[in-house]
A and B are shown apart, each in its own frame.
Chain A
């Protein structure tokens, strides 16, 4: 009888950088062992001693430097653990990390096709690695459209690099703010308004969506009306997640374990689960 491996072991990780993103939102750079790797769209469980763990999507491409791998997490203070991260964790802090978990964005499937990235608010975090990945393998993809909005300009993430996305070859960047604001040169309204300005080959493209659930539902409705098929549209879902490996059961959505089978799903995989509230 072999002692089973414990999937809940945590790696001790040093925080090596913190960036202020928006009110109550910061991006942390974590140093992990050199063997760590992750795909865009996957997440880690991040542990704060004595408080617990939270699932945080990985908001960068893991980068190897020396004998370490560095990843970024963008966190917003909403509960006890994320509140503690925002108020207590700084450069030089330790945190516990395990991961990566879940199934990320289907980038292989997107290769050779046009790609739309559609994000609302903090929903850009799991999509930022997609943009970085396309940028680094630019020839492998067709046109890239990035549609991103927040409730006001100050809530946009990655402001220090956002406008540079427009300079990625063959890329269209469309930004929105729900409310008008001085010096705002982009669309005023919901990010879902931008869907009508999408400029890709609808029949030969994929769309990756992440944001609040209501925003994703509106987005998917509009995308379907624009001619995208349900197997071309992918969303990244959030749920109550505790284990990351499909055994604690709290992230169930229909018969899926969101942590293991997702968090990225195509709309065709989700079927009615996407539309029925609270299923």
Chain B
């Protein structure tokens, strides 16, 4: 591990640029309001001098140096809200196949939970979804910012998604204080880059401080799933209990915010955008909490809101693991709690599962 200052992020970017063939950089871009995942032109565009304050149903940007994330996530780039998948003529000739090679890109300053979410999306979409596949394969480097102070809605430690990373990145850094970074390599490229930056090796004091901060970060996450396996077992038993799901979803208004901010939600709807001489086939996000999810001409497969809330919950905790070879669909980022207009709390609901659910093997 190496020790550096905030200014070294600029050097890190330059080194990566040199080594990886002039990629674009994608990260949380600080705008006039809330940072959004987008192309960044330099370190000055990163949200390094702000913090977010997150609570159920509340999000605020204040001065500080602990930015976790926003409603946005790398999903904005990899599986954008609107994707043109085909342009076609009225005579049914393909005009544009819609899918192009992605531009070489480095993810810069993504969070451990974001990285886990990409691993989940990979299992579902990589090699199958043309837009996702092109964009994912164009990612040539990953820099992670670890979380030394989680927000009040974070629970990544309960679902093994953070607050630090062990693999799947090139360089990770943790902000020990406003100015001091602890940097660690996660790949040969990462090590090469850190060495060429001329950074000092971190002393044992710094490493000890880092470990203490990580421990404190984990402990500070008040929101916890105490017993994940227990929750999963009980969810199995509760699948058919209409009463339970009606009770637990009674605050939900079916707006789908949780779906759109969730970094692993991937459901899309296809629509036609018709122009004078061609039509674009467009994939747009659709949330499973919204009424149209499950609606077909002549019927509805999830007509009641409790059914859709149940699908959302069971998908994240029971079905994703079956679809991905073991990964949960929840990375503990807490976005669904923060961005729910009613502040509906997934973790609280899962704790209820533990209270009321009967155990079924």
Task: Name A residues whose Cβ lies closer than 8 Å to a Cβ of B.
Answer: 1-10, 12-13, 47, 49-53, 78-82, 94-96, 238-240, 242-243, 245-250, 252, 254-255, 272, 275-279
Contacts and interface: CB of A to CB of B under 8 A. Distances in A.
A10 B279 contact: no
A7 B129 CA distance: 8
A49 B268 CA distance: 20
A117 to B, nearest CB: 23
Contacts of A10: 86, 88, 92, 94
Interface stretch (B10-18, B302-310, B330-338): B302-310
Contacts, number: 140
A8 B129 CA distance: 9
Contacts of B274: 50
A272 B100 CA distance: 42
24 contacts: A3-B100, A4-B133, A6-B85, A8-B85, A8-B98, A10-B88, A10-B92, A52-B272, A80-B297, A238-B296, A239-B296, A240-B294, A240-B295, A240-B296, A243-B268, A246-B128, A248-B269, A248-B270, A250-B269, A254-B319, A255-B318, A255-B322, A278-B308, A278-B310
Contacts of A9: 86, 94, 97
B266 A6 contact: no
Contacts of B279: 49-50
A25 to B, nearest CB: 13
Contacts of B124: 247
Question: Size band of the B side of the interface?
Answer: 35 or more
B228 interface: no
Contacts of B322: 255
Contact of A278 (B99, B301, B319): B301
B165 to A, nearest CB: 25
B241 to A, nearest CB: 10
A1 B138 contact: yes
B210 interface: no
Contacts of B88: 10, 47, 49, 96
Nearest to B268: A248
Interface in B271-314: 271-272, 274, 279, 281, 283, 286, 288, 293-298, 301-304, 306-308, 310-311, 314
B90 interface: yes
B152 interface: no
B283 A279 contact: no
B77 interface: no
Contacts of B209: none
Given A82-B297, A243-B270, A49 B90 contact: yes
Contacts of A82: 297
B127 interface: yes
A56 B217 CA distance: 53
Interface string B57-99: 0000000000000000000000000000110101111100111
